Amino acid sequence: MKYLYILTLAFIFSSCGNDKKKEATDNYVTNAVPKTPMEQSVSRGKEIYGELCVTCHMPNGKGVPGAFPPLNPSDWLMNKRKESIHAVKYGLKGKILVNGAVYNNVMLPLGIDDQEVADVMNYTIQTWNSGELVTAQEVKAVMK
């Protein structure tokens, strides 16, 4: 009797597994639908963030109090769109106020092109804040 019970359980678990596999395949098909320009930019931006920004702004975007300001969320990023593009494109130094806290540090230029600046900004804006799509043209127009 005990064995039958175990067998039944094993059967239930294995059929659950199959359901999951099927679901995963269905999701894959859904994901194959062409992404919007915003979704494409955000997913490229996620890669760039993981390579270039995490070390200071942290994987969760919370930064390091007193040293590296947060991007998750950031009133600076939200309210100063042009200055934020400028910062990511050319670097930033000096006193700034982010979410009511003072930072007086240096962010060096990151050496990425206009499209990459747009992508990484779209990732940080769409993941942790809100705002319209940043385009390479918009980044290009921000002069030093």
Q: By CB under 6 A, name the binding residues for ligand HEC.
A: 52-53, 55-57, 68-71, 74, 76-77, 84, 87-88, 92-94, 96, 98, 103-107, 110, 120, 124
List Cα–Cα distances, 51 to 60, 85, 110, in angstroms.
14, 18, 11
Write the single-letter amino acid at 128. W
Q: Among residues 17 and 109, whose Cβ is nearest to ligand HEC?
A: 109
Site of tokens 């100063």: 80
Smallest distance from the beta carbon of 8 to ligand HEC, in angstroms? 54
Site of tokens 């597994």: 17
Smallest distance from the beta carbon of 36 to ligand HEC, in angstroms? 21
Q: Among residues 16 and 102, whose Cβ is nearest to ligand HEC?
A: 102
Q: How many CB atoms lie within 10 A of CB 119?
A: 24
Q: Among residues 25 and 99, whose Cβ is nearest to ligand HEC?
A: 99
Smallest distance from the beta carbon of 142 to ligand HEC, in angstroms? 13
Tell me how far apart the terminal alpha carbons of the chain are, to the nearest angstrom. Answer: 78
Closest CA to 52 of 139, 141, 123: 123
Smallest distance from the beta carbon of 12 to ligand HEC, in angstroms? 47
